[in-house]
Structure 1
Amino acid sequence: MSFFTRLSPQAKHKARFAAQVSLTILVPLVPLTYFHFRAIQSREDREKEVRTKIRVPSIQTVDELLIEKCQPGDVWLFDRRCENCVHVTEMINCVVGRSLLCGGDARDGKSSDGTFDHCGIVVPGPPKDDKSLYDPHNLYLLEATAGGGVTASPLLNRLEMTQSRTVLLLPLVSPGERRNDDDYEPSGKTEILKNNVAKHLISFQKKWTEEAEKQNYKDGHSTLGILGALGYVFGVQKASLAPTSPSAWLVVSALQEAGAAMNVTDRTAMETRVEDFLRDYRFHEKDTVRLRPGWKFLGPMAMRETGRS
């Protein structure tokens, strides 16, 4: 007679319940653990690849040429591979965000293949002199992440390290500026506007990186993202204490601080999704990022584009 058959009915019920709970926990844990360690290995392989990359002096790589097109205030959108998220909670956050916040509706001429669930904003690096504000090699990408909290990474390193399917650049243009015109010479007014944007972004970066570190934001990033996405899909985002998308909240807040984006309501940044950047505010009253009069985003430019597999 087996041990199980000798148990009382009540003990058998408890044993079955314990087994069911264990299976409920273990079944999803197995693939999550697999993807976790695979993501770590993939990240280490990419770091080694970037670190050992042969760089020929005076010859620019494609990535170096691409980041030269960036200026403070530009926005990067990421179509991430959730399976490459190192942290399990961030992997869940990525899946939930892509499922609940990303849609396939028209994007007013800014359409691009991809499901964009993460974003960052280009900010000046530590200033050395006035010219360094626009030096492409001294520009950083400010973003909210689970790994580092609110962090800023050099553009070239961030682009080379990304494992996203697609990375889009949305160039920010001030009133009267013509960034697509190679012969264009910016006016004094344009230079003043650009300097103000750069200086406000420097102070914004300093304030929020310090605050995020003080509050240990990185530990709560994924939870905030999941709660924000659930709040959006259930229609309670206006009352939610969590931003709909933490990364979009940070970018919109930075644009508002720099004077480029409108603060329509107190919750404008809190209710913004990443893909709202791809909708032209001139044709939409909601689900879009509203910029101040004269400011606009140019059409998206692909910084990185790989297969969907």
Structure 2
Amino acid sequence: MASKLFSHLNNHPRTKLAIQLSFATIFIPSIPILFWSHNAKKEREEREHEVATKLRIPSVQTIDDLMVEKCQPGDVLLFDRRCDYCASGFVAAMACYVGKAILCEEDDGTRSVERGKYEHCGIVVPGLSASKGAQHDPSNLCLLEATSGSGITCRPLLTRLEMSRSRSVILLPLSCPGERRYESDDDEGVGLTEQTKVLKEQTHNELSKFRDKWLTDSHTQQYDKQHSYLSIMGAMLYQTGLYATFPIPISPSAWLVVSALQECGAAMKLNEKQSQQTKVEDFTRDGRFFEKDTVRLRPGWKFLAPVVLRETSSSA
């Protein structure tokens, strides 16, 4: 019966025309998408090869090397990404575009950065190396972030900066109580009180535990297949005002970073949904002066003035 029905439909002229039009409607628009996806993946592979084979002269530091030396576990990086360079597929690019369109507001004078639409972020964590002296080695620092292609990833910070094709990358240095960042004495750990040293050591250990836990959970729960869809759903729920009803993060990358800051004791944990309702651009507002659309840190903790790690023209 079913075979006769399909045979009748296939022999019907209008059915054939409808099938052809449906195929054309789906296939023709997908051609530029497939072309873009191929070029994006090819460009990413070329970039990876370029970074991997980069000639590094001993005792000669690049600007990225100098920037990484100033980073510490707990620092936050904000990315103003170029969505057309997303090499993880069409859905990942759409998540980027939707995030910028909905979650990135026009500068109203309350942000600590003048320009840019930041919809992705990551947190600096201790590296995976357990060798002697690696704990305080800047070259061992990694960036923990939520991504579409690899789920929760932990990549060397220097490599991540060199691989980035973002328009702008901003560093928000995290300062704990009693710490004075970017002073020559404190760079070597001299001048810190014992209480501050203990606090920094605790932050280091808690971020290491957080890193291991989330990397394991990401692998077991196959988060890499969920990130893009969660990003789109979170942005749409925020747009409709229904985000408080559903246990879905508005921005998965911001959710990860705020959760890490709460875990190490730097950020306040006012309620269970606080980290889920945080946007990336909330990091650009000082929680000491704003109560809304900001990341609230615990007393004594603060983000220092933003540092530009990478910036290109908006048309590049």
Q: TM-score, normalised by structure 2?
A: 0.90
Aligned equivalent of 1:4: none
Secondary structure (helix, strand or coil) at the match of 2:159 reads helix
Contact (CA 8 Å) 1:35, 1:84: kept in 2 or not? no
Contact (CA 8 Å) 1:72, 1:124: kept in 2 or not? yes
Deviation at 1:105, TM superposition (A): 2.7
Deviation at 1:18, TM superposition (A): 3.9
Aligned equivalent of 2:57: 56
> Alignment partner for residue 198 of structure 1, among 182, 204, 207?
204
Aligned equivalent of 1:132: 134
Secondary structure (helix, strand or coil) at the match of 2:184 reads coil
> Alignment partner for residue 223 of structure 2, among 217, 227, 231?
217
Contact (CA 8 Å) 1:174, 1:194: kept in 2 or not? yes
Contact (CA 8 Å) 1:110, 1:278: kept in 2 or not? yes
Aligned equivalent of 1:162: 164
Aligned equivalent of 1:32: 33
What do residues 126-155 of structure 1 show as CA deviations (whole Å, max 9, x unaligned)? 253684333111110000111111110001
Letter in structure 2 aligned against 1:33: L
Letter in structure 1 aligned against 2:202: N
What do residues 204-240 of structure 1 show as CA deviations (whole Å, max 9, x unaligned)? 0111100110001100110000000000000011112
Secondary structure (helix, strand or coil) at the match of 1:152 reads strand
Q: Hey, what's the Cα distance between the residues in 1 that align with 2:169 and 2:114?
A: 10
Deviation at 1:88, TM superposition (A): 1.4
Aligned equivalent of 2:104: 102
- The verdict on how the C-alpha distance between 1:139 and 1:226 changes in structure 2, with shifts beyond 3 A counting, is same
Contact (CA 8 Å) 2:107, 2:115: kept in 1 or not? no
Letter in structure 2 aligned against 1:64: D
Secondary structure (helix, strand or coil) at the match of 1:30 reads helix
Aligned equivalent of 2:3: none
Letter in structure 1 aligned against 2:210: F
- The verdict on how the C-alpha distance between 1:289 and 1:107 changes in structure 2, with shifts beyond 3 A counting, is farther
> Alignment partner for residue 233 of structure 1, among 239, 242, 249?
239
Contact (CA 8 Å) 1:224, 1:242: kept in 2 or not? yes
Paired residues for 1:11-90 under 5 Å: 14-15=15-16, 17-86=18-87, 87-90=89-92
- Counterpart check, 1:283 vs 2:289: yes
Q: Hey, what's the Cα distance between the residues in 1 that align with 2:298 and 2:160?
A: 29
Q: Hey, what's the Cα distance between the residues in 1 that align with 2:229 and 2:111?
A: 33
Contact (CA 8 Å) 2:170, 2:307: kept in 1 or not? yes
- The verdict on how the C-alpha distance between 1:19 and 1:112 changes in structure 2, with shifts beyond 3 A counting, is farther
Aligned equivalent of 1:3: none
Contact (CA 8 Å) 1:107, 1:280: kept in 2 or not? no
Structure 2 portions without partners, runs of 5+: 1-7
What do residues 113-134 of structure 1 show as CA deviations (whole Å, max 9, x unaligned)? 2111110000001253684333
Letter in structure 1 aligned against 2:105: G
Aligned equivalent of 2:257: 251
What do residues 260-307 of structure 1 show as CA deviations (whole Å, max 9, x unaligned)? 001111101101111110011122222111111111101111111111
Contact (CA 8 Å) 2:121, 2:145: kept in 1 or not? yes
Contact (CA 8 Å) 1:107, 1:279: kept in 2 or not? no
Deviation at 1:112, TM superposition (A): 3.4
Deviation at 1:104, TM superposition (A): 1.5
Instruction: Report % sequence identity.
Output: 48
Secondary structure (helix, strand or coil) at the match of 1:106 reads coil
Secondary structure (helix, strand or coil) at the match of 1:143 reads strand
What do residues 158-206 of structure 1 show as CA deviations (whole Å, max 9, x unaligned)? 1111111111100000012110333442211111111111100000011
- Worse-matched range after superposition: 122-131 or 94-103: 122-131
Contact (CA 8 Å) 2:70, 2:182: kept in 1 or not? no
Letter in structure 1 aligned against 2:135: L
Cα RMSD of the aligned pairs, angstroms, is: 2.0
Secondary structure (helix, strand or coil) at the match of 1:151 reads strand
